[in-house]
């Protein structure tokens, strides 16, 4: 019989023994922040971390220039036998100007720590219900491009059965309802002219952008309370005495469920097109990335994570705070059963602030980061050791998808 508690004790000891290496990994990524799609140092650092052990089969530049894959296992089993593939995800891109203000360096550390911990727990186990393989995926560009969307399209998740990652926040929570998101780029094309001598010869693209911005501001009062739209004017002209021939806006649209995005997009597009009609400009509406989906909950994984977290001293609030952020993990949760808990890092600072950047690199964040990694790996142990739990996880996944379609 598989001794789950013994395996959990083993993985905790492994993570504790490697805490200096893991902290060095997270700190190194934090000290050299890189923007989405350009995470060359973080990519090489993580590849080196897993390559230092010959038991990991590591692929750098896996399907994307700054993605990677590290595989261990399967444990036992022969050719043709089923294998349970457990995935851990690492993010490592930073934000413009303020570095790792969302703590993606710690997401990378958690993923790496949980993976090596689970590996230690599974080594030399001969009584598992099914052979187990561990896959670590480095998933770049969450903040801007949606690297996981590209990896999904490339088939990176095709053989993964369960997926785990965790995100730093202001509290510990096994689940927070991240919302669906779509990005819109709107470009107005007018006609330049001297703004004082011949203004009637011009077609003012900046006026179109301002009208569109105000249209969307007026639209907000008619939206559902949980819907969000917000944006900026990225380009509004080059000089005051030239009628702007070009302007550009960037907006984010968010709804609790991905199926509601179509309604919000239709309303927003009407506002953008109306501004073009009013000013005589031509309008170009582009969706530069795919939509980020909301995260599907998995009740069984959440319950297991909370149970393991409490055993490690994690305190979960009875009523977690609301969260209106978005992540490309949501798209992953629609194709693979998974969990995306949030974890406290010993600061009340808010994500995407300079204070949070400082907290993400602080020594005091390490206890909470590695404790979260242990809870994730312990949750994985529960599922791989118990076919009943695995079946419940898969049933929760199917049920959550059905609810989304209603």
pLDDT at 304: 98
Distances (CA, A) of 266 to 12, 156, 285, 288: 50, 32, 12, 17
Task: Determine the structural domain holding residue 372 and report its residue range.
Answer: 4-178+295-405
Radius of gyration for the chain, computed over Cα atoms and rounded to the nearest angstrom: 24
pLDDT-derived band at 79, boundaries 50, 70, 90: low
Q: In what order do the strands lie in the sheet with 338-339?
A: 57-60, 68-72, 132-138, 84-90, 162-164, 338-339
- pLDDT value at 96 more than 60: yes
Cis peptide preceding 74, ω within 30 of 0: yes
**Cβ–Cβ < 8 Å for 185, 250:** yes
Phi, psi values for residue 132, rounded to 5°: -120, 135
- pLDDT value at 405 more than 80: no
| One domain for residues 244 and 386 | no
How far apart, in whole angstroms, are the C-alpha atoms of residue 42 and residue 31? Answer: 10
* pTM greater than the 0.85 cutoff: yes
| One domain for residues 52 and 148 | yes
| One domain for residues 76 and 152 | yes
For residue range 142-162, list pLDDT tens digits in order: 998 999 999 999 999 999 999
pLDDT at 2: 66
| One domain for residues 232 and 255 | yes
Phi, psi values for residue 10, rounded to 5°: -65, -45
How far apart, in whole angstroms, are the C-alpha atoms of residue 239 and residue 246? Answer: 12
**Domain containing 85 — which CATH number?**
3.40.630.10
- pLDDT value at 393 more than 60: yes
Q: Where are the alpha helices (DSSP H) in 38-144?
A: 40-51, 104-122
Of 264, 286, 308, the position where a domain reaches its end is 286
Of 266, 286, 306, the position where a domain reaches its end is 286
| One domain for residues 32 and 123 | yes
For residue range 337-390, list pLDDT tens digits in order: 999 999 999 999 999 999 999 999 999 999 999 999 999 999 999 999 999 999
Q: Is 222 left (phi over 0), alpha (psi -120 to 50) or beta?
A: alpha
| One domain for residues 189 and 172 | no
How far apart, in whole angstroms, are the C-alpha atoms of residue 74 and residue 397? Answer: 24
| One domain for residues 168 and 199 | no
pLDDT-derived band at 75, boundaries 50, 70, 90: low
Q: Are strands 180-189 and 246-255 parallel, antiparallel or unpaired?
A: antiparallel
- pLDDT value at 322 more than 80: no
**Domain containing 241 — which CATH number?**
3.30.70.360
| One domain for residues 173 and 190 | no
| One domain for residues 41 and 149 | yes
| One domain for residues 148 and 21 | yes
Q: Are strands 180-189 and 282-286 parallel, antiparallel or unpaired?
A: antiparallel
For residue range 179-220, list pLDDT tens digits in order: 999 999 999 999 999 999 999 999 999 999 999 999 999 999
**CA 347 centroid distance within chain:** 21
Of 253, 268, 286, the position where a domain reaches its end is 286
- pLDDT value at 23 more than 60: yes
What is the secondary structure of 153-208 as a DSSP string? HTTTTTT-SEEE--EEESS-BS---PPEEEEEEEEEE-B--BTTT-GGG-B-HHHH
For residue range 269-321, list pLDDT tens digits in order: 999 999 999 999 999 999 998 999 999 999 999 999 999 999 999 999 988 77
| One domain for residues 306 and 159 | yes
**CA 313 centroid distance within chain:** 26
Angle formed at CA 305 by CA 384 and CA 138, multiple of 5 degrees = 70
| One domain for residues 67 and 95 | yes
pLDDT at 183: 96
* Number of domains the chain is built from: 2
231's enclosing H/E stretch is strand 228-235
Q: CA-CA-CA-CA torsion for 397, 400, 405, 406, nearest 10 degrees?
A: 150
């Amino acid at each position: 019989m598989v001794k789950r508690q013994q395996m959990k004790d083993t993985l905790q000891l492994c993570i504790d023994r490697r805490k200096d290496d893991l902290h060095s990994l997270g700190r190194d990524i934090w000290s050299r922040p890189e923007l989405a799609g350009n995470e060359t140092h973080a990519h090489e650092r993580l590849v080196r971390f897993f390559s230092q052990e010959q038991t990991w089969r590591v692929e750098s530049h896996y399907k994307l220039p700054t993605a990677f894959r590290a595989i261990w296992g399967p444990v036992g089993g022969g050719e043709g036998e089923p294998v349970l593939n457990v995935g851990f995800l690492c993010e490592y891109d930073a934000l413009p100007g303020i570095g790792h203000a969302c703590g993606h360096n710690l997401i990378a550390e958690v993923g790496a720590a949980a993976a090596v911990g689970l590996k230690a727990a599974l080594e030399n186990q001969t009584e598992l219900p099914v052979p187990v393989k561990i896959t670590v995926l480095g998933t770049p560009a969450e903040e801007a491009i949606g690297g996981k969307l590209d990896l999904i399209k490339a088939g990176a998740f095709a053989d993964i059965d369960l997926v785990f990652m965790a995100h730093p926040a202001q509290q510990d929570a096994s689940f927070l309802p991240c919302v669906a998101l779509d990005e819109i780029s709107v470009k107005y094309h007018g006609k330049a002219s001297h703004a004082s001598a011949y203004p009637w010869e011009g077609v003012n693209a900046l006026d179109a952008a301002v009208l569109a911005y105000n249209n969307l501001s007026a639209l907000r009062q008619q939206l559902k309370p949980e819907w969000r739209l917000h944006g900026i004017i990225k380009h509004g002209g080059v000089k005051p005495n030239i009628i702007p021939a070009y302007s550009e806006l960037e907006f984010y649209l968010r709804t609790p469920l991905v199926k509601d995005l179509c309604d919000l997009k239709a309303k927003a597009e009407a506002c953008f097109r109306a501004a073009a009609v009013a000013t005589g400009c031509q309008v170009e509406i582009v969706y530069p990335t795919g939509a980020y989906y909301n995260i599907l909950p998995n009740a069984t994984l959440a319950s297991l994570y909370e149970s393991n977290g409490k055993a490690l001293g994690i305190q979960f609030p009875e009523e977690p705070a609301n969260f209106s952020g978005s992540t490309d993990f949501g798209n992953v949760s629609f194709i693979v059963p998974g969990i995306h808990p949030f974890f406290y890092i010993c600061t009340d600072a808010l994500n995407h602030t300079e204070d949070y950047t400082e907290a993400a690199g602080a020594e005091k964040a390490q206890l909470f980061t590695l404790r979260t990694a242990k809870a994730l790996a312990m949750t994985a142990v529960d599922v791989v050791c118990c076919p009943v739990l695995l079946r419940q996880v898969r049933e929760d996944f199917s049920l959550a998808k059905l609810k989304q379609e209603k």
